[in-house]
């Protein structure tokens, strides 16, 4: 099955649904009293940045492998 990009409307809807889910999760955590200190926020930032860098490296590696297979 060939790749088919989402339409602009579908992309817009999924973006709003994702943002809504995150907003409601943050709202619910705030109601039960969960707060993040500046130290917690910094630790989360460092962890997420590291994860994103690792995923980016893996994707670059996979892309290079796929490129080599297309050449052959």
Same domain, 30 and 45: no
Q: Does the structure show a pLDDT above 70 at 72?
A: no
Q: What is the pLDDT of residues 15-59, one digit of tens each?
A: 888 899 989 998 999 899 988 899 999 999 999 999 999 999 999
What's the number of domains the chain is made of?
2
Identify whether the C-beta of residue 36 lies closer than 8 Å to the C-beta of residue 44.
yes
**Please, which residues have CB within 8 angstroms of residue 6's CB and are 6 or more apart in sequence?**
14
Residue 59 lies in domain:
36-72
Same domain, 7 and 19: yes
Identify whether the C-beta of residue 27 lies closer than 8 Å to the C-beta of residue 19.
no
**Of residues 71 and 33, more confidently modeled:** 33
Written as six digits, the tokens of 5 are 């990009």
Same domain, 24 and 44: no
């Amino acid at each position: 099955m060939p790749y088919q990009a989402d339409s602009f409307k579908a992309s817009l809807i999924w973006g709003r649904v994702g943002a809504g889910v995150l907003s409601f999760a943050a709202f619910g955590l705030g109601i039960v009293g969960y707060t993040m200190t500046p130290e917690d926020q910094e630790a989360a930032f460092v962890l997420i940045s590291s994860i994103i860098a690792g995923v980016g490296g893996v994707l670059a590696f996979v892309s290079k492998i796929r490129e080599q297979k297309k050449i052959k």
